[in-house]
Amino acid sequence: MMAQVQKVNKIVFSTFICFSSVSCTAQKININHIVDTYIAYYTPRNKIFNPSQTFLQIGINQEEENPKEKNIFINNNCFDCMGKVDSKDLILDYKGYKVVILYDNNDNKKLLLANLKNTKPTNKFSLDNINDNIINDVGIWTFSFDENLKVKYFCNTNRMENMKEDTKEIKQKLGIDNTEDCISAFYK
């Protein structure tokens, strides 16, 4: 009888370890998965979202209030739109898309590049200068994460048909269902 109880305990413990490790890894930041999900999400929703008309910007910066936490953000813009791409900016190719890499310090640049796989250098480009009289509202996905690369917070500021459902769908596709976000609190 004692052997059966130990066997059951061992199975329960192993199952607990398995599920807890899966949920932990599912919550860790995976930049390629973020970029792939971003592309897959917006391609059918935006007729100019393709590598010949759209480029991506991926950035990383230190959280001001908590230096152990960082933010990664991704957005897109069109080549015909106004904006600023500095001649010193690092521009990579990812699955045909030009990706402008933005960062606040070299350590964050190294962290971002170490976690963004399957890229290669590509040609620089320029945009029309920003007109201060025109609002350039570019929505953005932002992820806050800790020193263990665990996602703590997600926010999508792009215009959405149904903010609550779209946020839920995006979080589900990213595998961060249980992560706090900037939309859900408004719908409780």
Average of per-residue pLDDT across 159-168: 84
Contacts with 121 (C-beta within 8 Å, 6 or more apart), sequence order: 91, 92, 93
Do the domain assignments include residue 1? no
State the chain's mean pLDDT as an integer: 82
Quote the number of domains for the chain: 1
Please tell me which residue, 147 or 3, carries the higher pLDDT value: 147
Do the domain assignments include residue 2? no
Q: Which domain holds residue 87?
A: 27-187
Do the domain assignments include residue 16? no
Do the domain assignments include residue 9? no
Do the domain assignments include residue 7? no
pTM (predicted TM-score): 0.80
Do the domain assignments include residue 51? yes
Do the domain assignments include residue 73? yes
Please tell me which residue, 172 or 15, carries the higher pLDDT value: 172
- Separation CA 114–CA 31 (nearest Å): 10
